[in-house]
Amino acid sequence: MKYGFLHFHISSMWKFFLCRLHHSDTSRVLSLFYWFILQYIGKREVRNGRSIPACTPWKETECAGDLPTGEQSMKILFVSDQYGAANNGLTISARRYAEVLRAHGHEVRVLSTNNTERDGYQVREMRIPVFDKLIKSQGMIFGRAEKNVVSEAIAWADVIHFYTPFALSMGVARMAKKAGKPATCAFHVQPQNVSYSIGMGKWEFVNTFIFWIFRVCFYNRFRYVHCPSRFIASELEAHHYKSKPWVISNGIDPDFVYHKAEKPAELRDLFRILMIGRLSREKRQDVLIDAVKKSKYRDRIRLELAGQGPRRSALLEQGRELGENLQIGFYSKPDLLDLISHCDLYVHAADAEIEAMSCMEAFAGGLVPVIANSRKSATPQFALDERSLFRAGDSTDLASKIDWWIEHPEKRREMERRYAESAKKYALETCVSQFEELLHTAMREGSWL
């Protein structure tokens, strides 16, 4: 009976999937089930006879104010399945936090699969037969919790912070708790990141099941969880997480400030629209492409999609009639700063988002955003008025908002300044100072449940 509840859910899911295979993508369905089995069966902590209450009241911080003083420096260990390649928001956030923490006098080391840092700890990648290619196409890498490497890393650290809720983090967490080392975790992987990749993003019971898996197998052992937005903290509360959320933004890199540059001569007469993000289903670049096609000014618009991912070929095919006015590519930070300075409008069409650093950086750099008003996204919080929101998934509504901003350049220039000013409260430096407070609190008051 110890695993009866888990067995019931797994069996029910598996029977449902089997009866759906004749009109579903078999490999995707099997990979989801295999992924759950590999990551979590036999790795959970069972709380016999105990109900799991709703999370305790959250701690919310504004990324503004003075840096903390009087606290001792820390040896901080970051644990994340991937860290080496800055091709996703989680990794970029972790790297920026590490850089600022070091500038504040702390030592930071990273335990990861593709760690390129000199003093870091590297573990082997977990390869999954048959499904490895599909997982890689989503930009995911899973690490192995190798005991000798993990033991060395835990022995060095004063406090440990976990970025991902998968097998590597679960193994490290068990050893850290046994060793009595304080730890915190972050909620950066939204269930929709998994479900959309296999075509089940709108299936609410699938997303609920993933929230449940994350909760019972990883997050409910921690007293504190870092949430990058109020939205995701509310989602954890709604799904009965026991950990106390600390709402701290990922922050905006100080290099992203208001800056306008003259467009190249060949693009001077074009209205350039930018969207930044992984080329995946939940980001909904397809909605933006359709909106450009529907715009009254489609012949004047040049659409720039900055990112990489499994949907690149499909998006190019969808936008084929736009010709040279659709550009898709991955940009280094200097090139991205340059691109933002040449663009006229930013669109964030994602259905699901925990915060969206790319949108924050774009409006910090002087672009008015037009954001999908999705109930599963935190990004609408950044809209200063209704002109910056459109109905999620509705390309016709988005086209009308794009046309309005094209027709009102003076309003757009006014709002560019207002958005750049609003970005200052998300300064990376002061967001990291609030993160330091979280770590110190975990060390003082205890961090395990």
Residues linked to residue 372 through DSSP beta bridges, in sequence order: 390
Q: Is 260 part of a structural domain of the chain?
A: no
Contact 315, 279 (CB under 8 A): yes
* Residue 16, phi then psi, degrees to nearest 5: -65, -45
pLDDT at residue 87, rounded to an integer: 72
Residue 150's pLDDT band (boundaries 50, 70, 90)? very high
Q: Is 255 part of a structural domain of the chain?
A: no
My answer on whether 270 and 132 are in the same domain is: no
Residue 65 above 90 pLDDT? no
Dist CA 128 CA 38 (whole Å):
9
Residues linked to residue 83 through DSSP beta bridges, in sequence order: none
* Residue 159, phi then psi, degrees to nearest 5: -150, 150
Task: Report how many domains make up the chain.
Answer: 2
Residue 409 above 70 pLDDT? yes
Query: DSSP secondary-structure letter at 111?
Result: E
Residue 114 above 60 pLDDT? yes
From the list 248, 280, 311, the residue with the least C-alpha distance to 93 is 248
Q: Is 257 part of a structural domain of the chain?
A: no
pLDDT > 70: percent of the chain: 82
Give how far Cα 254 sits from Cα of 360, 418, 440, Å: 12, 17, 25
My answer on whether 278 and 421 are in the same domain is: yes
Q: Is 259 part of a structural domain of the chain?
A: no
My answer on whether 18 and 133 are in the same domain is: yes
- Report the interhelical angle of 428-445 vs 89-103 (nearest 10°): 80
Domain of residue 334, CATH code? 3.40.50.2000
Note down the domain range covering 382. 265-425
Residue 106's pLDDT band (boundaries 50, 70, 90)? very high
My answer on whether 167 and 281 are in the same domain is: no
My answer on whether 240 and 285 are in the same domain is: no
My answer on whether 177 and 272 are in the same domain is: no
Average pLDDT, the chain: 87
My answer on whether 113 and 214 are in the same domain is: yes
Dist CA 202 CA 204 (whole Å):
6
Query: What is the average pLDDT across 422-446?
Result: 96
My answer on whether 231 and 286 are in the same domain is: no
For residues 137 and 259, the model is more confident at: 259
Specify the residue for token string 């659709």. Answer: 326
Q: Is 64 part of a structural domain of the chain?
A: yes
My answer on whether 403 and 300 are in the same domain is: yes
Query: DSSP secondary-structure letter at 379?
Result: G
Rounded to 10 degrees, the C-alpha dihedral 35/36/38/44 comes to 150
* Residue 10, phi then psi, degrees to nearest 5: -65, -45
For residues 14 and 186, the model is more confident at: 186
Q: Is 256 part of a structural domain of the chain?
A: no
Q: Is 258 part of a structural domain of the chain?
A: no
My answer on whether 244 and 310 are in the same domain is: no
My answer on whether 189 and 239 are in the same domain is: yes
pLDDT, one tens digit per residue, over 273-287 is 999 999 999 999 999
Q: Is 341 part of a structural domain of the chain?
A: yes
pLDDT, one tens digit per residue, over 206-224 is 999 999 999 999 999 999 9
Dist CA 447 CA 449 (whole Å):
7
Contact 157, 181 (CB under 8 A): yes
pTM for the model stands at 0.85
Query: DSSP secondary-structure letter at 267?
Result: G
pLDDT, one tens digit per residue, over 308-325 is 998 999 999 999 999 999
My answer on whether 420 and 432 are in the same domain is: no
